[in-house]
């Protein structure tokens, strides 16, 4: 297995140019998903989805005295260490690549849709006209050819940094001390998804950017869920046994 690689997205230097969105669409030949005016600052993309694998969020925040600040952040699949989509996929279509990324094998996916409500970030979705689930592949084809993913390659400010995850985490730990009000999101291997392969430096709470504050891969609690189900299954069987046994009295 190759070294685990990923993204460190430093939102403090994102300028909202959307070059990442365009590069991703072009390289991966993703179909267009509608031209809409959303009225959300400069965001007319809306959210990540089956045909949107990079999404730049724009937040305008008044800071008092008629001043305002502008938060911009390029969101992407987190390629979780403990990935709910991958864990619940019943066909094995979702798998982990040699680079540590989580990818859908489109020749296997049967469109069961289980990965969609499983993802705590709302990343993966079904392409309606196609029936299958789609999301960021961390540019699997480019990585195999020794190239950086298209979005990181296109980013003009190095807000999207691509590289070995350990290196990125060390760089992020240094950067977060330099930027006032900054916090890291997804850099902690002890979080609910055991750390994200794509993590972020944010300037406000995650939910302001549309990110869940404490995402959890539900599969980590599967044992308790099966224990409850075993109790319920046993209760059902015992109830039937009791119903028939009383007849013999």
Restricted to residues 136-175, the positions that interact with another protein (CB under 8 A) are none
Pairwise CA distance, residues 151 & 137, whole Å: 12
**Closest approach of Cβ 185 to another protein, in Å?**
11
Which of 77, 101, 118, 138 touches another protein (CB under 8 A)? 118
Q: Is 121 in the site for another protein (CB under 8 A)?
A: yes
CA atoms within 13 A on the CB side of 163: 13
Rule CB under 8 A: is residue 66 a binding residue for another protein?
Answer: no
CB burial readout 41-72, b (16+ within 10 A) else e: eebebeebbbbbbbbbbbbeeeeeeeeeeebb
207 binds another protein per the rule CB under 8 A: yes
3-state DSSP call for residue 143? helix
For residue 41, CA distances in Å to 9, 38, 57, 71, 188 come to 21, 8, 9, 10, 31
Half-sphere exposure of 155 toward its Cβ, with a 13 Å CA cutoff?
A: 24
Q: The tokens of 182 are what?
A: 């900054």
Which residues 5-24 are close enough to bind another protein by CB under 8 A?
none
- 10 Å CB burial of residue 131 (0-12, 13-18, 19+) is exposed
Contact assessment for residue 72 and residue 57, using Cβ atoms and an 8 Å cutoff:
yes
Q: Which 77-96 residues touch another protein, going by CB under 8 A?
A: 84, 87-93
Per rule CB under 8 A, is residue 53 in the interface with another protein? no
Smallest gap from residue 43 Cβ to another protein (A): 8
Q: Name the residue nearer to another protein (CB basis): 145 or 239.
A: 239
Q: Which helix (H) or strand (E) holds 78?
A: none
Q: Is 108 in the site for another protein (CB under 8 A)?
A: yes
Give the total residue count for the chain: 249
- Please pick, from the candidates 120, 149, 186, 197, the single residue that binds another protein as defined by CB under 8 A: 120
Does 133 bind another protein (CB under 8 A)? Our answer is yes
Of 1-9, 96-104, 140-148, 224-232, the segment contacting another protein by CB under 8 A is 224-232
Q: Which two tokens stand for residue 223?
A: 């044992």
CB of 225 to another protein, least distance (A): 5
User: According to the binding rule CB under 8 A, does residue 134 interact with another protein?
Assistant: no
Q: How far is the CB of 192 from another protein (least distance, A)?
A: 9
Out of 32, 34, 36, 244, name the contact with another protein by CB under 8 A: 244
Q: Which of 19, 20, 109, 196 binds another protein (CB under 8 A)?
A: 109
31 binds another protein (CB under 8 A): no
């Amino acid at each position: 297995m190759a070294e685990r690689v990923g993204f460190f997205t430093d939102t403090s230097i994102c300028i909202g140019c959307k070059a990442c969105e365009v590069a991703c669409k072009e390289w991966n030949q993703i179909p267009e998903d509608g031209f809409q005016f959303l009225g959300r600052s400069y965001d007319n993309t809306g959210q990540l989805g089956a045909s949107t694998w990079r999404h730049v969020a724009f937040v305008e925040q008044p800071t008092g005295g008629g001043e305002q600040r502008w938060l911009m952040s390029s969101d992407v699949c987190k390629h979780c260490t403990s990935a709910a989509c991958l864990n619940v996929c019943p066909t094995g279509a979702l798998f982990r690549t040699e680079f540590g990324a989580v990818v859908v094998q489109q020749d296997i996916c049967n469109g069961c849709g289980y990965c969609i409500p499983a993802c705590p970030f709302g990343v993966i979705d079904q392409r309606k006209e196609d029936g299958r689930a789609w999301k960021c592949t961390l540019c699997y084809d480019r990585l195999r050819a020794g190239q950086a993913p298209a979005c990181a390659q296109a980013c003009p400010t190095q807000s999207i940094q691509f590289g070995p995850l350990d290196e990125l985490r060390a760089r992020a730990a240094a950067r977060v001390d330099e930027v006032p009000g900054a916090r890291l999101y997804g850099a902690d291997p002890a979080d609910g998804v055991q750390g994200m392969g794509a993590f972020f430096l944010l300037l406000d709470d995650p939910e302001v950017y549309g990110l869940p504050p404490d995402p959890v891969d539900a599969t980590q609690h599967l044992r308790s869920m099966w224990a409850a189900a075993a109790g319920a299954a046993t209760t059902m069987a015992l109830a039937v046994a009791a119903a028939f046994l009383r007849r013999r009295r």
